[in-house]
Amino acid sequence: MDFLYYLFIILCFLAVVLFLEGAYLVWNAYRGPEAKRIQERLQALSAGWNGAETALLKQRLLSSSPALERLLLQVPRIHSLDRLLQQSGMSLMVTHFLSYAAMAAMGGMASAALLGLPFIVMLLCAAIGGALPWFFVRSAKRKRLEKIERQLPEAIDLMGRALKAGHAFSGALQMVSTDGPEPAAGEFRLTFDEINFGVSVQDALMNLAARVPITDLRYFVIAVLIQRESGGNLAELLDKISGLIRARLTLLGKIRVLSAEGRLSAWILSCLPFAAALMINIANPGFLTVLWTDPMGIMMVGTALGMMVMGIFVMSRIIKIRV
């Protein structure tokens, strides 16, 4: 009965958090600062406004509050976190991300407290809960970059066909931004907007390479910049680059298939001790207390965690093959 009561409390907590998050997302989609900026930009474009105060390279806001904006600017490497959120494709500010991390940390600590776990384990659960949003954003970034990488040969082929038809390079970028697949088209659209607003082609392409840290895209940027300096047939060069990227993706797919068994084994071996400890603690709550009450048990747990971290690192190096 006690276990069902604690489970009910945890589910109620999660339901309240998800409800608040859903309400905030609905409000932000229609009345948030991002929606207001988009509306102002559409009005400026429709009116043909070309004021002198327009910033060609605008800086992303870290918070909608000026006070929090100034406070966050004092935090070291805060722009790296903002770049991570931008690369993940999520319409989140840094303050939103930090708020979600704080709520997840409080939820992890509350769950450990309801289960009667010691204070050290509560802190560990809080740390794990606070890190969950970061892992979620990293996963979203990885999936988005992988999708862009798969779409890149098609986008480069579209640019090559546009160049063969007589369009300029900026016109080829515009065709990719309008007819290409998302999210690759969105990145090329930003590059085309920068060029259209007066940024040089070299700076716009370098910004593209910084926003999308993909090796194949950097090859494309370097090839275009070299061709603009030395001359040559850019359409033929783009055809060769797209063929090279397709061959590389094919080889990478074969490697992923061959290393799938190793990745699965790594996940199972990493999660099995924690799953077994959770099941033992649920079946017999007092059975594992010696591991964090006795000094020898704490030493054993620390040694086991250290060996697990070392094993995870070694397995990740084995199954990660660069192409």
The rounded radius of gyration (Å) of the Cα atoms in the chain is 25
Domain 146-251 has CATH 1.20.81: yes
**Is the Cα torsion angle 119, 125, 130, 131 positive or negative in sign?**
positive
Output DSSP code: residue 57.
S
Q: Indicate the domain borders of the chain.
A: 146-251, 259-323
Cis amide leading into 33 (omega within 30): no
Question: Is-contact 173 162, C-beta < 8 A?
Answer: no
Question: Which burial class, exposed, middle or buried, applies to 180 when counting CB atoms under 10 A from its CB (0-12, 13-18, 19+)?
Answer: buried
The token pair at 188 is: 């090329």
Across the chain, which distance is largest between two alpha carbons, in Å?
77
Question: Is-contact 155 185, C-beta < 8 A?
Answer: yes
pLDDT at 44: 37
Q: What would the pLDDT profile of 253-271 be if each residue is shown by its tens digit?
A: 888 787 777 778 878 888 8
Closest C-alpha among 76, 74, 51, 73 to residue 62: 73
Q: What would the pLDDT profile of 27-40 be if each residue is shown by its tens digit?
A: 776 666 666 665 55
pLDDT at 131: 86
pLDDT at 4: 67
* Sequence-distant contacts of 272-280: CB under 8 A, at least 24 apart: 273/304, 273/308
Between CA 184 and CA 41 the distance in angstroms is 21
Between CA 138 and CA 59 the distance in angstroms is 22
pLDDT at 54: 37
CA 16 to chain centre: 26
pLDDT at 172: 86
Reported pTM: 0.61
pLDDT at 48: 34
The token pair at 225 is: 């910049």
Q: Which residues of the chain have pLDDT under 70?
A: 1-6, 8, 29-69, 72-73, 75, 321-323
Question: Which burial class, exposed, middle or buried, applies to 130 when counting CB atoms under 10 A from its CB (0-12, 13-18, 19+)?
Answer: buried
